[in-house]
Amino acid sequence: MLPRCKGHFWQRPLQLCTRRFLTTTSHRYTAMRMSDKGLVTKTRVQFKYPGVDIDLRDHPGRDESHYPVGCHPNVGGIESPILPMREVGMMLLMDKLTDKPEWFKKVFDEKIVEKWRRESQTQPEDGLFATIMTDKMDAPVPQPKRIISEAAFDFCIEELRSKAKYYAQSKLIPSLDSGFNTVVKSDELVSKTLHQDIHASFQQLLADQAGCPDWHPNSNDKVQDLVHPSMYPFVYGRSLFIHDEAVGVHNATDFVGQGQIVPKNADRATLEGVPNNELYHYSPGGLEINPEYWSNTYQWLPANVAFKDDGQSEFTSYINGLRPDKYPGIYKIIERLLDVVIPAWDQCLTEISGRDRHSSGRRSSRFEWIREATDEDDSLWSPFDVEFWKASDYRLPLDSLIELNEEEKLYKEGECLTGEERDEEYRLYEQGLSPRVAYVDSEKLAREKWRQCRDAVLPEPKGSTEIDYAPRQNLREKFRESGLQVIIKMASIELTPEKPDFPAGGWHVEGQMNERICATALYYVDCENVTPSHLSFCMATDSYLDDSIDYEAGAFNWLERVYGTGLCSDGSAASANIQQYGTVETRQGRVLAFPNDFQHAVSSFSLQDKTKPGHRRFIALWLVDPHQRIISTANVPPQQKEWWLQHQDIRNTPVASQAIPESLMTVEEANEHRLKLMEVRTRVDQISEFGIPGYNFCEH
């Protein structure tokens, strides 16, 4: 047992540093911790914590190294370039092909590739188009004749062959990837032995909860929380805090009752009271972040992770919600899973440092940037065949016919339609009869039919180049001294014949700015008797796209069709500046890793056999940006009253002989905090959704 801490943080007043934080200070201290190999001496770093030593709402400046946190558009580095519809289709095609067994071998078999080619050119693309146009089906973008062209397919095969070579050595697939942004998947990272151990861990936790399952609020008793960071979070004004990272794993309950309460942040928590002439600072493109993206009250508590001399991970503080004395084996299993997913984080993270971005894999679009375009350029459209369109039975809308007559002055000289005549003309049109427009020039009519029905000539991908997928960063090496901070969630979605369906989730990023989550790793442990489910991904883009493309007012529908989005700021045709990246299946045994600048949403799924129960179980690992330490379980003694009582039983210490520390929470109080925390985060999701601007192309 470590000696009880004396002196330190709680003997001096709380002071917030107003200057920009340093990740570390020059002062260091030496601490000892126990590992499986015995006592190990490590040089550790004294950290500055948001909400304690520095401002709670402090965030990296543009010149400071960080991994992007995607809570707010004004956080640097979270924007995607706008991508052509065809490129998104190509990413979806490649994701589908890499779901095939032994794809990494088949992609080199010309007979199989030729079969894939025929399928890609003949199968309907309605589903593909609908996925690309998620949340944008109201945009003036008809489905193109063909999204996956022959050139696009050939490009995909060359890229997959390159990825297959990388997969052979890494077991990682950069799946939805473009412009510094990557979703990574793998069905072989987790060994069968580790999978079995994780499965057994879930069985143990489920068995221990059998008498009183912890159903997640508002889930209709379908989502069972086995470990969840919203239970017993850090509560400003309530939780105790120890500045030195003294609280470990096996000694955690020894520190119950120690520390000092950190007062709630007194800064403005909303934009209420901000002068109207200053609100633009908080809008997308401004320099400030809406203060509501932080919570003055709550923060999830990560566990600290150190790297042993052999590079393997080791928890140095307890996992919030997982009793270390009861589940030491599960701790070791999660450490092994963490070792597996860290290379996937290396693959998908992009470090921002000033104007520089450091990442692996694809760093730009597969297509050339369009610098100028106008709908009046006939070369951007399918060829005009005057005889074909003269013979076409396509009926132009009445407004178009009248406009043609007025613009071209094609009525007989001296003829002028009265208001009644126009009403009669419209009535005839509604009945399917030909309106009285016999004097419109037939070639003009044909051209107008073509203009309204023509297909856009979508650009083809530029020449393929060799991509180096090997990570340019290594979390183990870069943060060997300070280690990582990871938030853990373990959950089981349980469906029954009485409750056979699980609804789709909403778009979100993980956590608030308090947690500074920069990446997610998901492992799908068990999928039984449920239909396939997917995660969808999207990302914000620059709303000032009109500044970088030379276009003509009212003549940019070709651009809308190329990019699959509404660009006009007038009326309902304007689309939010969101770039869809596609979907990835969440199958059993799969690891998914992605940076937290992606918004993501889970699809609905149901029981396959409606007469039997089914489930989908997963573990989530959320990485805190290692550039900035936040308050963790190393600073906060366990708050679970139940843990402390059971610890006293183990030590044969009569509870009646000592006062129960006031810092401990009952399950009832923890549930109240969870509900309030969820309410705050729901509000943040709503602010994020409603705050997304649209593209601003001028119509007139």
Length of the chain, in residues: 700
Decide if pLDDT at 690 tops 80.
Answer: no
* Greater model confidence, 570 or 404: 404
**Mean pLDDT lowest for which of 112-116, 271-275, 303-307, 614-618?**
271-275
pLDDT at site 445: 82
- Residue 324 pLDDT class (50, 70, 90 cuts): very high
Can you tell me the mean pLDDT for 81-102?
97
**φ/ψ (deg, to 5) at 323:** -60, 120
Please tell me which of 42-46, 324-328, 394-398, 548-552 the model is most confident about, judged by mean pLDDT: 324-328
pLDDT at site 267: 64
Decide if pLDDT at 438 tops 50.
Answer: no
Give CA–CA dist 113/121, Å, rounded.
Answer: 12
Can you tell me the mean pLDDT for 35-56?
68
- Residue 17 pLDDT class (50, 70, 90 cuts): very low
- Residue 124 pLDDT class (50, 70, 90 cuts): very high
Can you tell me the mean pLDDT for 186-212?
97
Decide if pLDDT at 429 tops 70.
Answer: no
* Greater model confidence, 243 or 74: 243
Decide if pLDDT at 35 tops 50.
Answer: no
* In the block, residue with structure tokens 């308050």: 631
- Residue 426 pLDDT class (50, 70, 90 cuts): low
Do the Cβ atoms of 157 and 121 come closer than 8 Å? no
Helix (H), strand (E) at residue 45: strand 38-45
What does the domain layout of the chain look like in residue ranges? 9-81+182-367+468-690, 383-453
What is the percent of the chain with per-residue pLDDT over 70, rounded to a whole number?
79
Give CA–CA dist 192/589, Å, rounded.
Answer: 9
The DSSP-derived string for 226-287 is EE-TTSS-EETTTSEE-SS----STTGGGGTT-SEEPPPP-S--SSTT--GGGGGGGSTTSS
Decide if pLDDT at 653 tops 60.
Answer: yes
pLDDT at site 7: 33
Decide if pLDDT at 148 tops 60.
Answer: yes
Can you tell me the mean pLDDT for 310-335?
97
Give CA–CA dist 529/613, Å, rounded.
Answer: 7
Q: How far is CA 324 from CA 175, 251, 316, 327, in A?
A: 36, 9, 11, 5
* Greater model confidence, 569 or 668: 668
- Vertex 142: Cα angle to 450 and 699 (nearest 5): 80
The strand pairing partners of 298, in sequence order, are 235
pLDDT at site 682: 84
Give CA–CA dist 479/304, Å, rounded.
Answer: 12
pLDDT per residue over 348-405, tens digit each?
Answer: 999 988 888 888 899 899 999 998 989 999 999 999 999 898 888 888 777 777 676 6
Decide if pLDDT at 8 tops 80.
Answer: no
- Residue 303 pLDDT class (50, 70, 90 cuts): very high
- What SS3 class is residue 181? strand
pLDDT per residue over 211-253, tens digit each?
Answer: 999 999 999 999 999 999 999 999 999 999 999 999 999 999 9
What is the percent of the chain with per-residue pLDDT over 90, rounded to a whole number?
60
pLDDT per residue over 167-184, tens digit each?
Answer: 999 999 999 999 889 999
Mean pLDDT, rounded, of the chain: 84
* Greater model confidence, 686 or 506: 506
pLDDT at site 649: 67
- Residue 24 pLDDT class (50, 70, 90 cuts): very low
Decide if pLDDT at 458 tops 70.
Answer: yes
pLDDT at site 3: 35
